[in-house]
C-alpha cells in the first residue's frame, strides 16, 4: 500500500502526556496517539523519532505492541527521564534514549547523531510508519530548552528523516510539530517540515 506523508501542527505538543495523566503542558500525546492508532489498525511497526530538548516520558511509556521510540534530549532536564540504561532493542518494542549534556552540543554533532542514529535504528526496525515528534526548543537561544544547536538544523533533521524513509525503510512519515519557544525559529522549521 502506498502511503502519503502527513503533517500535524498541534499544541500542546504531547510527548510528556502519559496514558493516564497529563504532564508538562501536554494533555494528549498527539504523536503517541497517531502511532498507537496506526499500530492497532495495521499491526505494523511504528517508530517515533523525537528531537525535542526534553525527553518524551509519555512516548516512552507507549513503547511496546509495535511502537518503538528514539529520542535525543538534554540531561539533566525536565522531566528527569530518558536514561540510556532503559534502552532495549526488541522487535516492535525498542527504546533508544540518547541523553545529551544540558550545556549543549555542536550542531554538527547533533546532526551526526540523527543522521547515523536514525538510519541505523530504522534499518534494524524497518518501521512501516515514522512519526516525528518535532520539538524545536533545542535551538540556540530558546528560553525553555537550548542545546546550542543552530537554526539551520531543522533542515538537516527533516532531510535525515526523509532519507531514512526513502533509502532504508518503506515507511510513511508523519511530522507532529511542536514549534520552538522562540517565535522567530518556528516559521523556518515549519516551512521545511511542511514539505516532507
Q: Which stretch binds Zn ion (CB under 5 A): 55-63, 118-126, 129-137, 149-157?
A: 129-137
Q: Which stretch binds Zn ion (CB under 5 A): 36-44, 83-91, 127-135, 166-174?
A: 127-135
Q: Which stretch binds Zn ion (CB under 5 A): 52-60, 88-96, 153-161, 164-172?
A: 52-60
Give dist(CA 172, CA 21) in Å, integer: 29
Residue of 50, 52, 146, 193 interacting with Zn ion (CB under 5 A): 52
The footprint of Zn ion on this chain (CB under 5 A) covers a number of residues equal to 5
Cβ-based neighbours of 116, under 8 Å, separated by 6 or more: none
Q: Which three cell numbers stand for residue 123?
A: 534499518
Give dist(CA 172, CA 169) in Å, integer: 9
| Backbone phi, psi, residue 116, to 5° | -75, -45
Told to check if 55 binds Zn ion by CB under 5 A, we report no
Give dist(CA 28, CA 25) in Å, integer: 9
Give dist(CA 182, CA 196) in Å, integer: 22
Give dist(CA 138, CA 127) in Å, integer: 26
Told to check if 16 binds Zn ion by CB under 5 A, we report no
Which residues are catalytically annotated? Answer: 16
Query: Min. distance of Cβ 170 from Zn ion in angstroms?
Result: 30
Q: Which three cell numbers stand for residue 88?
A: 532495549
Query: Min. distance of Cβ 98 from Zn ion in angstroms?
Result: 15
Told to check if 165 binds Zn ion by CB under 5 A, we report no
Query: Min. distance of Cβ 115 from Zn ion in angstroms?
Result: 22
Q: Are 160 and 167 in contact (CB under 8 A)?
A: no
Told to check if 136 binds Zn ion by CB under 5 A, we report no
Binding mask 58-97 for Zn ion (x = CB under 5 A): ----------------------------------------
Residue of 16, 36, 54, 73 interacting with Zn ion (CB under 5 A): 54
Whole-number Cα distances in Å, 180 to 31, 40, 138, 172: 17, 31, 8, 24
Residues forming contacts to Zn ion in the complex (CB under 5 A) are 52-54, 135, 137
Amino acid at each position: 500500500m502506498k502511503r502519503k506523508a502527513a503533517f500535524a501542527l498541534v499544541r500542546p505538543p504531547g510527548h510528556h502526556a502519559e496514558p493516564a495523566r497529563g504532564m508538562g503542558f501536554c494533555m494528549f500525546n498527539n504523536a503517541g496517539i497517531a502511532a498507537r492508532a496506526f499500530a492497532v489498525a495495521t499491526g505494523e511497526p511504528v517508530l517515533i523519532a523525537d528531537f525535542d530538548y526534553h525527553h518524551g516520558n509519555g512516548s516512552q511509556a507507549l513503547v511496546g505492541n509495535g511502537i518503538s521510540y528514539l529520542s535525543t534530549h538534554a540531561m539533566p532536564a525536565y522531566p528527569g527521564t530518558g536514561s540510556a540504561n532503559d534502552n532495549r532493542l526488541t522487535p516492535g518494542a525498542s527504546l533508544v534514549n540518547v541523553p545529551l549534556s544540558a550545556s549543549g552540543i555542536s550542531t554538527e554533532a547533533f546532526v551526526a547523531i540523527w543522521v547515523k542514529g536514525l538510519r541505523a535504528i530504522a534499518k534494524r526496525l524497518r518501521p512501516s510508519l515514522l512519526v516525528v515528534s518535532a520539538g524545536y526548543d533545542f535551538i540556540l537561544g530558546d528560553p525553555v530548552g537550548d542545546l546550542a544547536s543552530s537554526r539551520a538544523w531543522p533542515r538537516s533533521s527533516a532531510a535525515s528523516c526523509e532519507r531514512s524513509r526513502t533509502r532504508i525503510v518503506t515507511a510513511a512519515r508523519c511530522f507532529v510539530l511542536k514549534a520552538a519557544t522562540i517565535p522567530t525559529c518556528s516559521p523556518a522549521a515549519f516551512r521545511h517540515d511542511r514539505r516532507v
